[in-house]
Amino acid sequence: MTALRLRITEELLAAVGECDRHIPIETLDMGSLLLGVVQDCVLRWSLTGRQYDLVAEDDRLIDLQLRLYGLENGGDRS
């Protein structure tokens, strides 16, 4: 989990660096929150018998979270 959170944080740091405005949230905090979104999605998917498209739901929620941070979605997240 630590390695994944750090990888997410590195990507966010790069995105913030490309952004032309000040983002008042620490990238480590953003990484933790995004990891929470992914964990929540996987847990709900598992508990509901895998009844929805996990990738589509995760993409939708990650895109929303990035917009809330003031960052635009872009690039490959794989």
Q: Over the stretch 23-76, which tens digit does the pLDDT of each residue have? A: 889 999 999 999 999 999 999 999 999 999 999 999 999 999 999 998 875 444
Mean pLDDT (whole number) for 2-14: 91
| 35 contact partners, CB below 8 Å, separation of at least 6 | 1, 4, 5, 8
Instruction: Tell me the C-alpha distance between 56 and 62, whole Å.
Output: 10
Report the predicted TM-score, pTM, of the whole model to 2 decimal places. 0.78
Q: What average pLDDT score do residues 1-29 get?
A: 89
